[in-house]
Chains A and B, each alone.
Chain A
Amino acid sequence: MKNKKNSATAGASPTHSEANSSTKSTLTAKRTPNVSELGTSQEVTWCPGCPNHMILAAVKQTITNIITPPNNSSDQQSDRQAKRPTSEATDKLLQKDFVITTDIGCHAKIFDYLNLSGIYCLHGRSIPTAIGIKLGNPNLKVLTFAGDGAAYSEGMSHFIHAFKHNADITLILHDNQSFSLTTGQPTPTSQQGYISKASPLGTFTKPFNPIKLALASNATFVARTNARDIPHMVETFTKAIAHKGFSFVEVIQDCLIFNIEANGKDKLMYKIKDNTDVKTAEKLADEFDYNSKSGKIPIGIIYQSNEKSLEEKWPQLIKQMNKE
């Protein structure tokens, strides 16, 4: 069959050894020359005062803490280094071991502002793409950024399944209760009655409670933090990254332009102790309904449990983790 080559395909059989060496003209994976800095020179286009600036700062601080070798620290830095949380899970990580996936939305612009490997994904798909990265290389440390619109509307099935898969990924979810990049339409966590250009009659539906949903989906790590509290974010992100399994961190943030009625929840927030009890977690989750501002908003580790992650279950992935 193969021998009866048509004249159209006449020519030497492929010289496959050169297949990869001749790809330079088409090789378009982008490389950033300077890997020592966590930031980039990209113009930051978040609104002045947007809490996303603070989330970016907290992420940079968290990663800097993790990747700075303790013995390299000068005396002045020793204070900060002393406070640096240590964990076996993150001890040997370098900047190049971090990979981010971001969704689409205001939050996702963080992709351009972080000098880390990653994929700027399609709307709603940052979670499954991140799981794919872990299936591809379980030794990478993957952070996923998503907004409330992206993860709970377009990507809801992925959000729920992420807890079931329990891949070792940290989801940082920017929740401002609004689709802000598209000028303020309601998201699944927008309060009932929210009037926007898309909903002039007011939003009829009640918001989801993602924390309850996560607990119901057998989450192994659920946390909430405040975008205006950088130290709390750093502490929470650090614990989330150290967690073996899928860690979900909800960051409550204001949008200064759209759905401003939902803003100003800081005064309702109070810090909790790290919790590992399911019943307590359920009670904590119930305290804030995303709809009214009457309740209290607990921040901190709402729930953490120890279960094998996806990478620890698949023999093929265990083999890869041991190799590198």
Chain B
Amino acid sequence: MRLNITIGGKAGQGINKVSQILSNVLAKYGYFTFNYRDYQSLIRGGHNFNTLSISDEPIESHDAKIDILVALDERTIKTHKQSLKKNGITILGDQFKNLGRNQNVALAGSLTKALGIPLEILEKEIQEQFKESAEAIKATEKGFESEKKLHHLKKLKNSPTILSGSQAIAIGAINSGLQLYVAYPMTPATNAMHELAKFQKPTTDNRQPTTDIIVFQAENEIAAASMAIGASFAGKKVMTGTSGGGFDLMGETLSLQGISEIPLTVYLAQRAGPGTGVPTYTAQADLDVALRSGHGEFPRIVVAPGNPIETIEKTSEALFLAEKFKTLSIILSDKHLAESEFSSTLKPAKTPKFKIDRPIPGKDLVKNSSYESDEHGNTTESYTLTEQNVNKRIQKYKDIKEYIQNNFEMIKTHGNKKSKNLIIGWGSTSGAIKDAIKNLDAKFLQVLYCKPLSPQIKKEIENANKVILVECNATGQLGRLIREKTGIKIHNRLLKYNGRPFHSDELKNLLIPMLK
């Protein structure tokens, strides 16, 4: 069972409110949802929409074809009419215009009725959300009365939790005991900053923060990364986060990390580039820069979770490994993962806990340098020491690789595990692939560690008859990485690079002829 609802309007009309209320109602009613947010880089006007996908089983994507269109303006109808299925319906926001702020609540009422969910579930949700709920309850009733029962959703026993990728970054970081997050605002990384910043304040029920985390806004990304290095040196668990252009600015600091060996974890949320690009839209085009940014040769780790549960796990692993190996960890996400809302009943794996027990200033005498240095931390230009230090860094990467191979999940396989059709993908695209191959003769190999890369990938490719690469970029960056590490070129590629993620139905239609 799968239904898709698109809610569209101008920025500022509150479309997020409608999908948020409805997602919570559906979670209470035992359904899984996935909410895709398509919005422009503006505060008022333009055209924004959410597509809320609903299913009785776990989903991590939305469809292109929709069952219900909720239009808060004319433009929404024009833009999305052709996506509406044959027996799909349109609900107009205009009918509740006189309700003011409660227009969105009324629309949630209409949708609740259209889905065949009892009104009291919505009322309960409204009472939880609004302190003064009398007016809003009236609005839900108005909305509920306005529609016919179109679908007949039965109550299910699941109780999923809804999380965005940004919230997951924060949860993973807090689980690992993060003490400082320094950043400069940049979409789509900023929401992780907002989520972490919340931990500094007392909760709504006035409980004091359970952590002493500091969220600090620096004057630019260079300062953010430099401050992160400084605080890490001082003995704290630290992370910084940014997107494309900001990550470029951090490049020199990544290189500093390489030589100074001060642990550093960077959250990189990709968006469509180059340059300012399409700032509020998605892409998987920064894998190359994540793998290579920073001059010189030094070890690093690049993890690429595909959903919030994996994001919680991989964020903790990234922080753990950065400290354990005094290295650079990069958590690669993107707008689609960071800002979509996923529902899941799964729990993340146990957090790899760690303490900082390296020498730290104040207790020990510690010197770290951007120069090649001797055993005291003082500058050296000696060719023997230079070579020795380079060899140490090379050896360190070997140790990192071995440790990760023995301890962490580097790849996952989904779908028909016996299939000879192998689809390879990573990051946020995994959701659409997983949903697209349900009932197809295909196995999906999801890459979770881009550096180091699992040696298992080569075996999987060799065992398959047909290999298809699916990525949200124009040049197949993961494909190139696999070719570099295995010598195997993947010829079949499905690449999307218009700033929008794959829809699962769209991807399924593209895959079917290729699998024949």
Q: Measuring CB to CB, which residues of chain A are less than 8 angstroms from any residue of chain B?
A: 1-2, 4-9, 11-14, 16, 19-20, 23, 25-32, 35, 40, 42, 95-97, 99, 101, 104, 109, 111-112, 115-122, 124-125, 128-137, 139-140, 157-158, 161, 314, 316-317, 319-320
B377 touches A30 (CB 8 A): yes
Q: Which single residue of chain B is at the shortest CB-CB distance from A95?
A: B365
A157 touches B365 (CB 8 A): no
A30-B367 CB under 8 A given contacts A132-B228, A132-B231: yes
- Count of chain B residues with a beta carbon within 8 Å of a chain A beta carbon: 84
A119 touches B213 (CB 8 A): no
A125 touches B364 (CB 8 A): no
A29-B358 CB under 8 A given contacts A115-B365, A136-B235, A137-B236: yes
Q: Measuring CB to CB, which residues of chain B are less than 8 angstroms from any residue of chain A?
A: 179-180, 182, 200, 212-214, 216, 218-220, 222-223, 226-236, 238, 252-253, 256, 260-262, 309-310, 313, 320, 323-326, 346, 348-350, 352-355, 357-371, 373-379, 392, 396, 399, 405-413, 454-456
A27 touches B369 (CB 8 A): no
Q: Which residues of chain A are near B179, meaning CB under 8 Å?
A: 136
Assuming A9-B409, A122-B226, A316-B214, what are 9 further A-B pairs, CB within 8 angstroms? Answer: A6-B411, A29-B366, A31-B377, A125-B252, A128-B230, A129-B226, A135-B182, A136-B232, A314-B214
A130 touches B378 (CB 8 A): no
CA distance A300 to B349 in the complex (A): 60
* Shortest distance between the CB of B96 and any CB in chain A (Å): 40
Q: Which residues of chain B are near A119, meaning CB under 8 Å?
A: 229-230, 233, 260, 262, 367-370
Q: Which residues of chain B are near A96, meaning CB under 8 Å?
A: 361-365
CA distance A23 to B368 in the complex (A): 17
CA distance A296 to B350 in the complex (A): 67
A121-B365 CB under 8 A given contacts A128-B218, A128-B223: no
* Shortest distance between the CB of A280 and any CB in chain B (Å): 29
Contact of B230 among A9, A27, A116, A133 (CB under 8 A): A133
Q: List 12 A-B contacts (CB under 8 A).
A: A8-B410, A9-B456, A19-B324, A32-B377, A96-B364, A99-B361, A99-B362, A117-B364, A119-B370, A132-B227, A135-B231, A137-B360
B223 touches A161 (CB 8 A): yes
B220 touches A157 (CB 8 A): yes
Q: Which residues of chain A are near B223, meaning CB under 8 Å?
A: 125, 128, 131, 157-158, 161
* Shortest distance between the CB of A171 and any CB in chain B (Å): 14
Listed residue (A13, A25, A99, A117) with the most chain B CB atoms within 10 angstroms of its CB:
A117
* Shortest distance between the CB of B265 and any CB in chain A (Å): 14
A19 touches B354 (CB 8 A): yes
Q: Which residues of chain A are near B350, meaning CB under 8 Å?
A: 13
A20 touches B365 (CB 8 A): no
Q: Which single residue of chain B is at the shortest CB-CB distance from A42?
A: B378
A30-B368 CB under 8 A given contacts A2-B313, A9-B411: yes
Q: Which residues of chain B are near A28, meaning CB under 8 Å?
A: 261, 326, 392
CA distance A316 to B238 in the complex (A): 15
Contact of B370 among A6, A121, A136, A140 (CB under 8 A): A121
Q: Which residues of chain A are near B182, meaning CB under 8 Å?
A: 132, 135
Listed residue (A104, A120, A130, A314) with the most chain B CB atoms within 10 angstroms of its CB:
A120
Report the 3 A-B pairs with minimum CB-CB distance, sorted nearest first.
A132-B230, A136-B234, A8-B456
B407 touches A13 (CB 8 A): yes
B353 touches A16 (CB 8 A): yes
CA distance A8 to B448 in the complex (A): 12
A6-B456 CB under 8 A given contacts A14-B408, A16-B354, A29-B261: yes
Q: Which residues of chain A are near B366, meaning CB under 8 Å?
A: 29-31, 117
Contact of B371 among A1, A23, A117, A120 (CB under 8 A): A120
Q: Which single residue of chain B is at the shortest CB-CB distance from A317?
A: B214
Q: Which single residue of chain A is at the shortest CB-CB distance from B369?
A: A120
A9 touches B408 (CB 8 A): yes
A136 touches B261 (CB 8 A): no
* Shortest distance between the CB of B171 and any CB in chain A (Å): 15
CA distance A266 to B349 in the complex (A): 67
Q: Which residues of chain B are near A20, meaning CB under 8 Å?
A: 323-324, 354-355, 357
A9 touches B405 (CB 8 A): yes
A14-B369 CB under 8 A given contacts A20-B354, A125-B226: no
A122-B320 CB under 8 A given contacts A27-B358, A135-B231: no
Q: Which residues of chain B are near A314, meaning CB under 8 Å?
A: 214
Q: Which single residue of chain B is at the shortest CB-CB distance from A154?
A: B222
Q: Which residues of chain A are near B234, meaning CB under 8 Å?
A: 99, 132-137, 140
B362 touches A137 (CB 8 A): yes
* Shortest distance between the CB of A65 and any CB in chain B (Å): 20
B230 touches A112 (CB 8 A): no
CA distance A12 to B36 in the complex (A): 37
Q: Which residues of chain B are near A30, meaning CB under 8 Å?
A: 366-368, 373-377
B368 touches A29 (CB 8 A): yes
CA distance A121 to B373 in the complex (A): 13
Q: Which residues of chain A are near B410, meaning CB under 8 Å?
A: 8-9
CA distance A267 to B413 in the complex (A): 77
Contact of B365 among A11, A14, A116 (CB under 8 A): A116
Q: Which single residue of chain A is at the shortest CB-CB distance from B399?
A: A26
B367 touches A32 (CB 8 A): yes
* Shortest distance between the CB of B301 and any CB in chain A (Å): 13
* Shortest distance between the CB of B54 and any CB in chain A (Å): 20
Q: Which residues of chain A are near B260, meaning CB under 8 Å?
A: 119
A32 touches B411 (CB 8 A): no
A2 touches B227 (CB 8 A): no
Q: Which residues of chain B are near A120, meaning CB under 8 Å?
A: 367-371, 373, 379
Q: Which residues of chain A are near B313, meaning CB under 8 Å?
A: 2
* Shortest distance between the CB of B117 and any CB in chain A (Å): 28
Q: Which residues of chain A are near B232, meaning CB under 8 Å?
A: 132, 136
A128-B226 CB under 8 A given contacts A120-B371, A122-B370, A161-B219: yes
A133 touches B377 (CB 8 A): no
A23 touches B358 (CB 8 A): yes
B396 touches A26 (CB 8 A): yes
Q: Which single residue of chain A is at the shortest CB-CB distance from B412?
A: A6
CA distance A297 to B156 in the complex (A): 81
Q: Which single residue of chain A is at the shortest CB-CB distance from B352?
A: A16
* Shortest distance between the CB of B295 and any CB in chain A (Å): 11
B362 touches A129 (CB 8 A): no
A111-B379 CB under 8 A given contacts A19-B354, A30-B373, A128-B226: yes
* Shortest distance between the CB of A28 and any CB in chain B (Å): 5
* Shortest distance between the CB of B347 and any CB in chain A (Å): 8
Q: Which residues of chain B are near A7, meaning CB under 8 Å?
A: 456
CA distance A5 to B252 in the complex (A): 37
* Shortest distance between the CB of B283 and any CB in chain A (Å): 25
Q: Which single residue of chain A is at the shortest CB-CB distance from B460?
A: A8
* Shortest distance between the CB of B468 and any CB in chain A (Å): 19
A118 touches B367 (CB 8 A): yes
* Shortest distance between the CB of B365 and any CB in chain A (Å): 5
Q: Which residues of chain B are near A97, meaning CB under 8 Å?
A: 362
A8-B320 CB under 8 A given contacts A30-B376, A137-B236: no
